[in-house]
Homo-oligomer: A and B are copies of this chain.
Amino acid sequence: MKKINLGVIGAGRIGKVHVETLMQNIPQATVTIIADVDVDEACKLAERFGIKNVSADYMEVVNNKDVDAVIICSPTNTHVQYIIDAANAGKHIFCEKPVDISPVEIKKALDAVEKAGVMLMVGFNRRFDPNFMKVRHMVDEGKVGDVHIVKITSRDPAPPPAEYSAVSGGMFMDMTIHDFDMARYITNSEVKEVFVKAGVRIDKAIGEAGDVDTAIITLEFESGAFCVIDNSRKAVYGYDQRLEVFGSAGMVSVDNNFPETHKFYSANGVHRSLPLNFFMERYTESYANEMRLFCEAIANGTALPVNGNDGLAAVLVALAARKSFEEDRPVKLDEIK
């Protein structure tokens, strides 16, 4: 793998994760410049890893002639503009999910990418969790036979502030979107129809902001697979991320990760510790794999494991889900496209 230089836009939580991976775990990658509107944040992050160039202006990343690829970790509503600018500057692009909450806008970004002939990867990190990758691999090998039912449990330890819903596009767009991508990834097929049963069970303020916090979502795939996703914004026992694939030849299931393996037997029963609490801990390894695979694809010119169309597809399902919830009926993906 040849050496590549990266520029990072956005020095927030996820920006920090990617910079750390790039600087510490991928010898062939170097972060050359970091930009953030909060330039202090960019400086702190740059200093931690001995990165020389910092800016408040993302265009300095885009136009930096040493930069091979741009990592976009800024808020969702900036993604499309940054992708277009980076593509026009001939840079490869990694963009956090969702690309945007509007398919029209996403298509503008994809067009710019295509025209420029650059590569765009979207940050569906969960695909790179070793255990979920193993499941997909087993499906590909035919271990479970024809896939009949996929079950995804995806529950957060605590809801975001109610105000967040307006900005994020709501639960289907900011949270379930990962599950929609996971379902597409596991089935290797496209969603045909969505039905959502959802409501507010945890925090009224979420409902007042027009969003939901609890949902059961049924997907039908082109392949004939059914998928059911259950979501909650608040599991008191922490982050709950499970997957089950049932098919004509068997079933494979993945439980949560329990970092503490000890069991304690007392007069009260048998006790074990909770799974890892939230995504930064739970998906540490998938974030690292994701960035490594992006760098390898850029360096070697090979195909990306998740591309712009995957980013668009998940958003379309999220919109169909919202429509299904609002109209209390199954919605075909054709209605959205």
Q: Which residues of A contact B (CB under 8 A)?
A: 24-25, 130-131, 134-135, 138, 143, 146, 148-149, 151, 155, 193, 195, 197, 199, 201-202, 214-216, 218, 220, 224, 226-228, 230, 232, 234-237, 240, 246, 248-255, 257, 259-274, 328-330
Contacts and interface: CB of A to CB of B under 8 A. Distances in A.
Contact of A260 (B131, B240, B249, B260): B131
14 contacts: A148-B214, A148-B232, A149-B214, A216-B228, A218-B218, A235-B265, A237-B267, A250-B264, A250-B267, A253-B263, A254-B261, A268-B271, A270-B274, A271-B271
Contacts of A266: 143, 236-237, 249-250
A207 B131 CA distance: 35
Nearest to A328: B330
B250 A237 contact: yes
**Which among A143, A220, A234, A267 has the greatest number of chain B C-beta atoms within 10 A?**
A267
A236 B254 contact: no
B273 A269 contact: yes
Contact of A262 (B134, B202, B273): B134
Given A216-B228, A249-B236, A329-B329, A269 B262 contact: no
A262 B148 contact: no
Specify how many copies of this chain sit in the oligomer. Answer: 4
A268 B330 CA distance: 38
Given A24-B24, A260-B134, A226 B250 contact: no
A21 to B, nearest CB: 12
A232 to B, nearest CB: 6
B248 A201 contact: yes
Contacts of A226: 197, 199, 214-216, 230
B199 A224 contact: yes
Contacts of A261: 131, 254-255, 257
A220 B249 contact: no
A135 B228 CA distance: 23
Given A228-B230, A235-B246, 12 more contacts: A24-B24, A138-B264, A143-B266, A195-B195, A195-B330, A237-B251, A237-B265, A237-B267, A252-B265, A255-B261, A270-B272, A329-B330
A201 B150 CA distance: 14
A269 B260 CA distance: 11
